[in-house]
Structure 1
Amino acid sequence: MNASENTPMSSPIANSVFAQDKLSIGITLPITRDNDSVVDYSEQLSLARLADRLGFRALWVRDVPLNSIEYPDPVGHLDPWVLLGALASNTERIALISGAIVLTLRHPLHVAKGAISVDALSRQRFILGVGSGDRPPEYAAFGRDPDTRRDLYRQHWETLAAAVTVPSRVIPDHAPRGAPDFYLLPRHNTSIPMLAVGSGGQSVDWIARHSLGWMTYHREPQAQRGRYSMWRAAVDRATSGAFRAFGVAMRLDLSEDANEPAVDISLGYRTGRRALVALLREMRENGTHHVTLNITSERRAARDIIEEVAAHVLPEFHC
């Protein structure tokens, strides 16, 4: 497949989240307090409706197949397709993004069926973010060899991209003599944008050729600038200067004091809103097109943080 077949950049929902020289802001679900393992998903849907109404650009949903006491994340995540279906029914405008479906542990045709279903329910508001997973013991639990992760990711990407791109086609694992030609229903008239979340064991050149963009975790500003420069060079090599998005997942502990300076925390910042605006402006200037906020706080309700960001931060960027 060529890059244009795998990067449907004309998608209106992709363009609302990722645009040249602009920065948009989303939210990662679920929103929990530190060390919480039980999530009230009725409240999460309420927060999703609030984010949609207040103008956030995207809701991100993780895929966490299994839990272990050895893992740092104790949260009881819902199956991503179930949660995305609920979000599709509870929101109107906001993009829904998987961040990220573990492509190496799921059959790509099952992923394609889920993606097409969510896209239909949400009226073409879905962006399909995929990754390869970063927990090797899960590979053994699913009967996979972690040493095959890189090749498996590429193979599954090809099958998945063929199925969710218009015109859609099914690439079977095996096609015995006399096997019928398969297709996926419901029919979709527009391609579903595909986004690389993490590297999936691939080079940045491969990602630039095949994905609408690259989503990474937060790093300190100098490291992030270096990462964007590496990405921009890969895009220029692979696509002759075409636009490819760059996004960041950032943890946010928003202070009640609007003037509190930013302090580094793991994968993000504790900060007041004014310093948050300054940080996001710098990220935009350095080439970041989207930031999804992983909101956390032991002191404030998530609803209050969402409302403050919407009132005082979004107007700086969503214009």
Structure 2
Amino acid sequence: MNQPTPRSTLPDDLQRHHGFARVFAPGKLTFGFIAPLEGYPDSPGPTMVEHERMARRVDQAGFSSIWLRDVPFYDPGFGDVGQQFDPMVYAAFLAAVTRTIAIGTAGIVLPLRDPLIVAKQVASVDQLLGGRFVLGLASGDRPAEYPAFGSDFENRAARFREAFAIVQRTLGSPWPRFASQYYGTMDGHLDLVPKPAAVRVPQVVVGFAGQSLEWIATQADGIISYMADPARTADMVKQWQALGNPEVFRPYGYGTFFDLCQDPDAPLQPGRVLRAGRNALIELWARQQEQGVAHVALNLKPLSRPAEAVIDEMAEYILPHFPSHTPLT
């Protein structure tokens, strides 16, 4: 299919960001995975037995990203513990076993963490990754966690906005200054070490974090939303693209539960899980690429087949249609 003419471009610092530019470019769609890289449809948690080998496999196959979730505790009401390991610790581990794939968070629950510690962790991880880190930030959707941290669930949206700005200022400015309502104060007498490897660490919002789409479009470098109905994707992307500076490309992506049917001709099945054979998926994603979707992050929890077989099939038949990008050097 003919690609649409991009109406905007990435800022130069993000075109050269090894992580962000591998995942996002105007007019193109890429694929990544939400960790863990295994299916566990009948369990709240994965085995993590082959996690290092699978990370190497998706990296070598040419996928664009691995996204790490922030689930500090097991909440039976939520029923999923993600990759179990703390996302910042696990990102540092993945820095040692991968080479080109972007590592991102989807997303750090910012109101439950001190933003200065988040900035320190981000700078450290980005150094270890050589500039491949993409910081995805969320407000959290599990009320049971907030009392454990002594945090107010009701004001999480306001605290998210303030913490978002603190992380941005601390990572991007030498000797930062700020005064905050919910956190601390810096008067320019302290400086963050180390600095990130990249000139700027991109910050994307995961979900909506209690914010308006207008706020996200003007403050963040992009959004990773959640897909509920593919028929509504075009309208959501159009609404997103109408906001913010039209000359600056701010990507729209989504995360979704995913299952690849063994029959390559199986049609799309309705429901919370994106489930189909590869031919229907190629058609869907080609259409969404034309609509302006820049990235799809696949959550493998519902898989009915071994993850390795699914990843290999995607690498052979789907990835050639939607290759990852090569950042500028």
Q: Is the 8 A contact 1:96 1:127 kept in 2?
A: yes
CA distance in structure 2 between the partners assigned to 1:197 and 1:168 by the alignment: 28
Q: Is the 8 A contact 1:23 1:291 kept in 2?
A: yes
CA distance in structure 1 between the partners assigned to 2:107 and 2:94 by the alignment: 16
Match of 1:183 among 172, 191, 201: 191
CA distance in structure 2 between the partners assigned to 1:20 and 1:76 by the alignment: 30
Deviations 1:141-194 (A, max 9, x none): 211112211210111011000122254736474459xx8811121123511111
CA distance in structure 1 between the partners assigned to 2:213 and 2:185 by the alignment: 33
**Superposed counterparts of 1:91-240, under 5 Å:** 91-165=98-172, 167=174, 169=176, 171=178, 173-174=183-184, 181-188=189-196, 190-234=199-243, 238-240=244-246
Other-structure match for 2:8: none
1:222 to partner: Cα distance: 2.4
Structure 2 stretches lacking a partner, 5+ long? 1-10, 325-329
RMSD: 2.2
CA distance in structure 1 between the partners assigned to 2:279 and 2:218 by the alignment: 37
1:35 to partner: Cα distance: 2.4
**Structure 1 residue 288 and structure 2 residue 293: aligned?**
yes
- Using a 3 Å threshold, how does the CA distance of structure 1 residues 170 and 26 change in structure 2: closer, same or farther? farther
1:264 to partner: Cα distance: 2.2
TM-score normalized by the length of structure 2: 0.87
**Structure 1 residue 260 and structure 2 residue 269: aligned?**
no
TM-score normalized by the length of structure 1: 0.90
**Superposed counterparts of 1:9-20, under 5 Å:** 9-10=14-15, 11-20=17-26
CA distance in structure 2 between the partners assigned to 1:7 and 1:213 by the alignment: 15
CA distance in structure 1 between the partners assigned to 2:314 and 2:40 by the alignment: 18
Larger relative helix fraction:
1
CA distance in structure 2 between the partners assigned to 1:111 and 1:143 by the alignment: 18
CA distance in structure 2 between the partners assigned to 1:180 and 1:207 by the alignment: 28
Letter in 2 for 1:20: P
- Using a 3 Å threshold, how does the CA distance of structure 1 residues 67 and 38 change in structure 2: closer, same or farther? closer
Same amino acid, percent of matched pairs:
33
**Structure 1 residue 69 and structure 2 residue 76: aligned?**
yes
**Superposed counterparts of 1:22-41, under 5 Å:** 22-30=28-36, 31-41=38-48
